[in-house]
Structure 1
Amino acid sequence: MTNVPALGEVPSHWTVERAKWLLNRQRRDVRTEDGIVTAFRDGQVTLRENRRTDGFTNAIHEIGYQGIRKGDLVVHGMDGFAGAIGVSDADGKASPVVHTYIAHQNVDVRYVAYTLRSMALSGYVTTLAKGIRERSTAFDAATLANVQLPVPSLTEQRRIADFLDAETARFDQLAAAMRSQDDLLKDRRLRLLDSVRGTDQDGAPLARLGYFSSLITSGSRGWSEYVSDTGELFFRSANLYSDRIQPKLANAAYVQLPQSEAAESQRARIQVGDCLVGITGANAGWVCLADTSVAHGYVSQHVCLVRPEPHRIDGHWLALLIASPYVQGELMGSQYGGTKTQLSLPDVRAIRVPVLPVSRQVQLAQSVNRQTELVDRQRALRQQQLTLLAERRQALIAAAVTGQFDVSTASGRNVTEGVSA
């Protein structure tokens, strides 16, 4: 057996070569008809329009862009460490952050792509390359050139690649089915949240939230000089979830205020039962219900604190109502700002609330909670299954590219046993 860095032992009749002896780098001119090709972290390399177009920064002049051809090995220089390595399924163009290759005649480019992705996902690429930004590592062409790769015969490379093409397609189909089920569960959750209004059954009139609240304010001051490792909780928009009304306390921040400052900041101090609503940035409109874990903390200037009058409105019901698609739609229509979306305190005060008896509000909140908890458990199970499926998919690839079993007689079907769709 021969040992290969990051991969372990491979059959002794295989050779080990540096990548520069297996691949020829390509630097093609861009054609007028070329669309943008993207290397995604799941290993797919395709035209951006085939997957999605949002979330990308588009270059105006496309300086340094290069031509990509179907069948090229494409390595993303910054995201390769996370698996953005694969064989392009289309002609197009890509930014200079990627480097592209064709394989020598005794090399199957698909086998090399599977092997490199396995090495990347094992963490090996991260150990080789310089980090240049958060959650990214520079994996340039010079670094790749010296990576040692196992090289079975061309016939065996093709058998391995054919096997993995078929088996990973099965994994991906099962994962897609699970994600579709999760989408249905998300839709079900949103419908449940909308039902918290009770207006279909109760025919209730609507009134502005300000009518039901004794306090609507924010931490409208600068806090940076008082941030500390200890002290009172400092509740930020980062402490809000998009899909639940519990506070998120991971990476919590704290402040220590002088006595004089603390007295002036009492309006921004949290009480149990308050509703905390994000009003700036990506978290605008997200909401949580304050419990004992955040009580007595302070809200930042990016969070609106709503204190419902308990004899007129139930805080739990109000938090669910603000999280509902109905109110979220209202809030999104109220946002302003160019690069940073914002809500104003009057926007929050103007939320339209059904006028229902508190007893009815409590009944609706309890009913919705029971049903959303069931949906959330089902979604959590789906996520566990997807994680397990991804781990087994990667384990199968790692075993195949290192020759741990004979792919000509093997089937990966047993790998998905116990993972239910």
Structure 2
Amino acid sequence: MWSLFERIKDVGHPDEEMLSVYRDFGVVKKSSRGDNFNKTAENRDIYQLIDDGWLVVNRMKAWQGSVGISAHRGIISGHYICFRPRHDEDSRFLNWLLRSDIYAAEYRRLSRGVRPNQIEIDNDGLRVLPVHLPPLEEQRRIADFLDAETARIDRLIAASHKQSNLIIERFTESLRVLTTTTGLGEVTSTGISWMPEMASAWQLMKIGRCFTTSSGTTPRSSDVTYFDGPHFWVNTGDLRDGAIEQPKKTVTDTALADYPTLRIYAPGSLVVAMYGATTGRAGILKVPACVNQACCVLSELGPVSSRYAFLWFRAHREEILKLASGGGQPNISQDLVRSLRIPAPSRHEQDEIVGQASSLESMSSRQQQFQMRRAELLTERRQALITAAVTGQFDVSTASGRNVTDGVSA
């Protein structure tokens, strides 16, 4: 490696474009990705300047694939190892080669640390790394082949993700229809802009008339006598729009005695996240449990079943969140929950709707799992193709892209 690249750390260029190293994509412009949540430091002088053809290595995540040859000029994290090229080889080929599985395994072998997943590679390990190169013309053929084939596979992967999202959207829309009009019969106006119609035979009722609402609390974390007891304690992280069967945390009898707001709620209770990262998500208790202060528990009073209300909350979550207070992370209050109006068919119709929704969800889940598995297989095939091409396991000049995605074709 030392004969191909020279280690350079060039800082003090705050006006250059920000770049990032992605495990799946190599070096990219940070502005080109909507999923990069790393904040840029106020002092941009600490970032390193790199240019086209430079090698960038995330020393802590090289073994996961966070390595790449840049095709851009810009600044990158000061914690990375950056190398200026001093070779006449094909940079695209080197990018594919150094990001292949065989090299990722070598980065892992050379990395050191106190824990298996907290390891890093240093310059001494990288500089003596062997780089096996075919003739320049063959490098270019391999790079051309991989540029085309990986782009094709990437389009198929993107299509699978898009299809998966469409399945979710279609199911959510089905829930909206089932919990407002069922798609059949006459409708009437609700007077609610985000839920304008409902079946004319149904009643429009406030949640506060259908459920009692309450929440819980968090015992003092420094007191070990309050935790790891026999009683389940639900946090918003346990709410995944499904059954709550095995909450991660538990509390003791002492916690229940010292905190009156830690009451045990019965199975079948509906729980909605009022704030936090999962605001608006819901779940149905399948076990007796208490909750923390970020959870709103709805207990049935009669007109509406918790299972039906659970579907309604899921169907209209986005609209409910728009009613919430707060800035970047909205909060839902118990007062807001109680003030919401829900279309209420008879209990018999509610049970039928719950049954229909269950069947639709099972079908949607199977379809979504198929699409995600397809994306996983395509990703595995993509990486295997890269490794096979850069190590000369087949002749790319005679390879046909038609069989690259056998078994997972569109």
TM-score tier, shorter chain, comes to 0.7 to 0.9
The answer (yes or no) to whether the contact 1:132–1:138 under 8 Å persists in 2 is: no
Residues in 2 aligned to 1:189 and 1:131: alpha-carbon distance in whole angstroms: 46
Aligned partner of 2:256 in structure 1 is 261
Residues in 2 aligned to 1:314 and 1:69: alpha-carbon distance in whole angstroms: 62
Identity %: 30
Aligned partner of 2:232 in structure 1 is 233
Aligned partner of 1:296 in structure 2 is 288
Equivalent of 2:314, from 323, 326, 340? 323
**1:230 shift after superposition:** 5.9
Q: Deviation string for 1:55-97 (max 9, x for gaps)?
A: 2312212131222323333323344332222233333222313
**1:369 shift after superposition:** 2.8
Aligned partner of 1:314 in structure 2 is 305
The answer (yes or no) to whether the contact 2:89–2:136 under 8 Å persists in 1 is: yes
Aligned partner of 2:297 in structure 1 is 305
Q: Deviation string for 1:299-344 (max 9, x for gaps)?
A: 23332221122x31111111111112x3442235314377x65433
The answer (yes or no) to whether the contact 2:298–2:306 under 8 Å persists in 1 is: no
The answer (yes or no) to whether the contact 2:245–2:285 under 8 Å persists in 1 is: no
Change (3 A) 1:399 1:307: same
Root-mean-square deviation (Å): 3.1
The answer (yes or no) to whether the contact 2:217–2:262 under 8 Å persists in 1 is: no
Change (3 A) 1:319 1:62: same
Change (3 A) 1:206 1:71: farther
Change (3 A) 1:35 1:407: same
Change (3 A) 1:277 1:31: same
1:246-285 pair list within 5 angstroms: 246-247=243-244, 249=246, 252-258=248-254, 261-262=256-257, 268-285=263-280
Residues in 1 aligned to 2:395 and 2:50: alpha-carbon distance in whole angstroms: 34
Aligned partner of 1:336 in structure 2 is 326
AA in 1 matched with 2:306: G
Residues in 1 aligned to 2:42 and 2:219: alpha-carbon distance in whole angstroms: 37
Gaps of 5+ in 1: 1-18
Change (3 A) 1:146 1:275: farther
Paired residues, number: 392
**1:133 shift after superposition:** 10
Change (3 A) 1:317 1:385: same
Residues in 1 aligned to 2:259 and 2:41: alpha-carbon distance in whole angstroms: 48
Does 1:24 find its partner at 2:6? yes
Aligned partner of 1:5 in structure 2 is none
The answer (yes or no) to whether the contact 1:30–1:93 under 8 Å persists in 2 is: no
Aligned partner of 2:398 in structure 1 is 409
The answer (yes or no) to whether the contact 1:232–1:254 under 8 Å persists in 2 is: yes
Equivalent of 1:88, from 65, 70, 74? 70
Q: Out of 20-29 and 187-196, give the one that drifted further.
A: 20-29
Aligned partner of 1:160 in structure 2 is 142
The answer (yes or no) to whether the contact 2:62–2:108 under 8 Å persists in 1 is: no
Aligned partner of 1:177 in structure 2 is 159
Residues in 2 aligned to 1:413 and 1:99: alpha-carbon distance in whole angstroms: 38
Change (3 A) 1:21 1:197: same
Residues in 2 aligned to 1:155 and 1:237: alpha-carbon distance in whole angstroms: 57
SS at match of 1:149: coil
Residues in 1 aligned to 2:226 and 2:139: alpha-carbon distance in whole angstroms: 57
AA in 2 matched with 1:277: V
**1:405 shift after superposition:** 2.3
Change (3 A) 1:68 1:313: same
SS at match of 1:114: helix
1:78-117 pair list within 5 angstroms: 78-117=60-99
TM-score normalized by the length of structure 2: 0.83
**1:263 shift after superposition:** 8.9
Residues in 2 aligned to 1:91 and 1:368: alpha-carbon distance in whole angstroms: 52
Does 1:49 find its partner at 2:45? no
Q: Out of 93-102 and 280-289, give the one that drifted further.
A: 93-102
The answer (yes or no) to whether the contact 2:273–2:279 under 8 Å persists in 1 is: yes
Residues in 2 aligned to 1:136 and 1:356: alpha-carbon distance in whole angstroms: 55
SS at match of 1:269: coil
Change (3 A) 1:226 1:121: farther
Does 1:385 find its partner at 2:374? yes
**1:53 shift after superposition:** 6.7
AA in 2 matched with 1:171: I
Aligned partner of 1:213 in structure 2 is 211
Residues in 1 aligned to 2:178 and 2:84: alpha-carbon distance in whole angstroms: 58
Residues in 1 aligned to 2:289 and 2:373: alpha-carbon distance in whole angstroms: 34
Change (3 A) 1:205 1:221: same
1:339-354 pair list within 5 angstroms: 342-354=331-343
The answer (yes or no) to whether the contact 1:24–1:102 under 8 Å persists in 2 is: yes
Residues in 2 aligned to 1:351 and 1:73: alpha-carbon distance in whole angstroms: 56
Change (3 A) 1:106 1:378: same
Aligned partner of 1:16 in structure 2 is none
Change (3 A) 1:132 1:332: farther
The answer (yes or no) to whether the contact 1:198–1:364 under 8 Å persists in 2 is: no
